[in-house]
Amino acid sequence: MNQIEELNNNMVEIAENASRAVVSINSTIYSGNFGYGMTPVKGSGSGFLISQDGYILTNNHVIEGSETVDVLLNDGRKYQGQIAGTDPQTDVALVKIHGNDFPVMELGDSDNIRIGSIVLAIGNALGLPGGHTVSMGVISAKNRPMPWADFIFEGLLQTDAAINPGNSGGPLVDMTGKVIGINTAIIAQANGIGFSIPISTVKKELDDMIRTGKVNRNYIGISGIEINESVSERYGLISENGVMVARIDPYSPAYEAGIRPGDVITAFGGKNIRSMRDLIRAVSEMKGNTDVLFKRGGSKYRTTIEYKNKREKRITILDK
């Protein structure tokens, strides 16, 4: 057997084994106008089993707002699924079906996957009958942002493996047969550009989702507006970069640290803040009391946000 035949056989075996744990998900949302009744709106996507007792990973947008979630296994068995956990911020969801001894997929390590590595995307492309669609490609890039998405996430895997509507929620599989990503999006105007959520990030969320149905994240209690030229002119700001605090929870760590609406956050935990994404990422990495630099009027300030929401405030004027 030559190397090409060996590679081909290996890929066929990986695709066959992985497909056993890939599922089709059909969701129904009821919508309508008063007096005209409710109309069912159906959607479809993919997912994959990660435990023998029926936990399935998929995309949040596949099941969001659904009244019913129907799960079809590769062997033809049908189940009524229950939404067990959601994380809209990273577009990840967990669905549960009742049963035992389901085929499962092993979760790999997306942190160490290399650009150029061969991958397979598996899923219910376009909701076509006759089994799952398998497409091959490579990891084209890592740590990609998706600024146009409804969810806020960076660090996505980019692949040229074909990802089509219906593939959402399906696995991206490496050449060891392990899941390295959840297929989530494509760029409609381009060919060969798809994105997957790194499985190493998802693994960090799983315990929270199984235990509480959601992901517990660091919280400072503000909503903000990215500073640009038009925002600076509108609000009469001196700052050219940063995030202006638009609203703040009066019981939040940020409020207790002395931050108020109109303040412009320029650094968080030693990292420069130029966008809301910068701030969200910095807050997510917060592991203890954290120094924050912000501007108020013509002055610069430093304060410390307490990780455990303590009420002590420490603000120091740096200059005027």
Stated as kind and residue range, the H or E segment containing 93 is strand 92-96
Sign, CA dihedral 283-284-285-289, equals: positive
Find out whether 108 and 179 touch, Cβ atoms under 8 Å: yes
- CA nearest to 220, candidates 283, 262, 274: 283
Distance of CA 73 to the CA centre of its chain: 24
CA distance 318 to 301: 6
SS3 253: helix
CATH, range 110-212: 2.40.10.10
Is this prediction's pTM over 0.85? no
79 backbone dihedrals φ, ψ, rounded to 5°: -140, 150
Q: How far is CA 134 from CA 13, 117, 121, 173, 178, in A?
A: 12, 16, 6, 10, 15
Distance, in Å, from the CA atom of 121 to the CA atom of 112, rounded to the nearest integer, reads 18
Q: In sequence order, what are the beta bridge partners of 144?
A: 156
Q: Torsion angle, CA of 278/283/288/289, rounded to 10 degrees?
A: 80
Per-residue pLDDT at 167:
85
State residue 166's pLDDT score: 79
Distance from C-alpha of 278 to C-alpha of 264, rounded to nearest angstrom: 13
Q: What is the pLDDT of residue 318?
A: 53
CA distance 267 to 61: 32
DSSP state of 63: H
With tokens 């005209």, the residue in question is: 36
Tell me if 254 sits within 8 A of 221, measured CB to CB. Answer: yes
Sequence ranges of the chain with CATH classification 2.40.10.10? 3-96, 110-212
Burial zone of 66 (CB within 10 Å; 0-12 exposed, 13-18 middle, 19+ buried) = buried
Task: Read off the tokens for 168.
Answer: 């959402």
Q: Which two tokens stand for residue 314?
A: 């420490």
**What tokens were used for 281?**
């990422």
Other CB atoms closer than 10 Å to residue 242's CB: what's the count?
27
- pLDDT value of residue 152: 54
**Residues 170, 48: contact at Cβ < 8 Å?**
yes
d(CA 84, CA 45): 17
pLDDT at 115: 96
- CATH entry, 222-319, from 3.40.50.300, 2.30.42.10, 3.30.450.20, 3.90.1570.10: 2.30.42.10
Question: Residue 264's pLDDT is what?
Answer: 94
Instruction: Delimit the CATH 2.30.42.10 region(s) of the chain.
Output: 222-319
Q: CATH number of the domain at 3-96, please? A: 2.40.10.10
Encode the chain (320 residues) as per-residue pLDDT tens digits. Answer: 688 888 889 899 999 999 999 999 998 877 655 555 566 667 789 999 999 999 999 999 999 888 899 999 999 999 999 999 999 888 899 999 999 999 999 999 999 999 999 999 999 876 666 678 899 999 999 988 765 555 556 689 999 998 887 788 999 999 999 999 999 877 666 677 889 999 998 998 899 899 999 887 788 988 888 888 878 888 888 777 899 998 998 988 999 999 999 999 999 999 999 888 788 888 888 888 999 999 998 899 999 998 753 334 444 445 43
Report the pLDDT value the prediction gives residue 2, as an integer from 0 to 100: 83
Query: Which are the catalytic amino acids?
Result: 61, 91, 168
